[in-house]
Structure 1
Amino acid sequence: MDLNQKALALWNDGKAAEALELLFRAIDEEPSEKEGYYNLISLLIAAKKFADAKAVLEMAGEKFAAEESFLYAYGNWHYQQQHYTEALNNYLSVFQQQKSIFKGEAAAMIGQCYLALHQPKLALAYLLEAEVYHPEDTMILLMIGNSLLQTESFLDAESYFDKVIALDEKNAEAWFKKGLAKRVLQQDPKEGKDCLQKAKQLDPKQFLTYAQQLKEIESVVTKKEE
């Protein structure tokens, strides 16, 4: 097992400091290997050590120029600090590369940026592209469903929440959003109520945070009924 693999194993075991130390050692021992830099940057971002991550990003940028993995990592660096416009520019630079190995991931992150910037139609265009690369990624499917909810395409949204539930029947958010879609579509009230109850059983704490969304959806229903 090389130093990168050992570091990632340590990280997964919750040994963050040891993992980072090992990755610093990896780039010292093999300064021409891109993998060590990318892994170190990713873990520093995950640890919210943004200043350290930027220093390594700049070092990698000098060594490897416009390498797409580091453009993508810069996007992550901005995204995790809620610099969504800057992150979007990085991810678009990756997505627009003809033979990008990060195309699906970049499309998903572009979609997330547009959702954060309250532009669900643009988000949807890229998330549907991301689905082509990752058809069973529940996070991507959820984001598509959420984008469809925001654009009031409720029937299509429900179908995406069904896809999530088929892959992960314990996904509380999918059950809740499915219940909301059913409520707006004025489908069988019992089915909608059962979906909401299922979400509450799966994640009672998170269910409380959905209360505002439930109020908003009720106002949409009221307008439709009027």
Structure 2
Amino acid sequence: MDKLKKGIEEMQNHNYEQAARLFTEAIDENPKEPVGYINFGNLLTHMNDYERAERFFNRAIELDEEAATAYYGLGNVYYEQEKYTKAQEQFIHAIQNGLDEADVHFMLGMTFIHQEYVKLALPYLLRAAELAPEDVDIQFQYGLCLAQNGQIDQAQQVMERVLQLENKHSDAYYNLGVVSLHKENPHEALKHFEKALEIQPDHMLAAHAKGQVEQALNE
């Protein structure tokens, strides 16, 4: 097994020192090969060493301006530091250079969400949802974004899909409750809020919504 593969394995097993040693050796042996720098950048990002991670990703890009995963890694570095505009630029570069995977579309969508550009987020979260139909987080964020864009029926369908994937997803139940209120069905909403609280008793939003619906029904 080559050093990069072994290093990735060590990183996945949280043996960061071993991974760092293997990546360093790989870079020393092939200093003009960007992949070593990209892997080391990913490792440093895992370790929250963003300053050094940024340097490694930039070095990879110097060696290969079309290294899509280097742009993606750099985007993650900025995203973790809440520099969403800078992250966005890098994720777009990654996609332009041929990275068409769920994660990069999802992360790009989330940079827009954090900046409250929900309309701009929607096509990227849709693409991520298409590429990763079994990913609960991606499906949930896509459903949420649909709701924020006023596409209530589609949001309902996606939240129901989330519950098929994970039947104890309290936030999906809460959001189905909100959808039911939009459709002026308070009894249905109450059931969803109760279900959310059954799964997560400290769900503040569900508890508040449940109280308001019960009060309205009793009046």
TM range (shorter): 0.7 to 0.9
Letter paired with 1:84 = Y
- Alpha-carbon contact 2:197-2:206 (below 8 Å) kept: no
Match of 1:19 in 2: 19
Distance (Å, rounded) in 2 between the aligned partners of 1:3 and 1:204 = 47
Q: Deviations over 1:94-150 (max 9, x none)?
A: 3234xx133543322221111111011111122112223223322221111111221
Distance (Å, rounded) in 2 between the aligned partners of 1:192 and 1:43 = 45
Residue 35 in structure 1 maps to residue 35 in structure 2: yes
Q: Percent identity?
A: 26
TM-score of the superposed pair, with normalisation by structure 1: 0.80
Match of 1:195 in 2: 192
Superposed displacement of residue 184, structure 1:
2.6
Q: How does 1:52-63 map to 2 (within 5 A)?
A: 52-63=52-63
Aligned length: 212
SS at match of 2:108: helix
Distance (Å, rounded) in 2 between the aligned partners of 1:75 and 1:49 = 14
Match of 1:166 in 2: 164
Match of 1:176 in 2: 174
- Alpha-carbon contact 1:6-1:19 (below 8 Å) kept: yes
Distance (Å, rounded) in 1 between the aligned partners of 2:13 and 2:29 = 24
SS at match of 1:31: coil
- Alpha-carbon contact 2:162-2:169 (below 8 Å) kept: yes
SS at match of 1:163: helix
Letter paired with 1:131 = A
Q: Which of these residues, 137, 140, 153, is aligned with residue 139 of structure 1?
A: 137
Please, what is the CA RMSD of the aligned residues? 2.6
SS at match of 1:135: coil
Structure 2 unpaired stretches of 5+? none
Superposed displacement of residue 67, structure 1:
1.9
The 3 A distance-change label for structure 1 pair 178 and 24 is farther
Q: How does 1:53-92 map to 2 (within 5 A)?
A: 53-92=53-92
Match of 1:118 in 2: 116
Structure 1 unpaired stretches of 5+? none
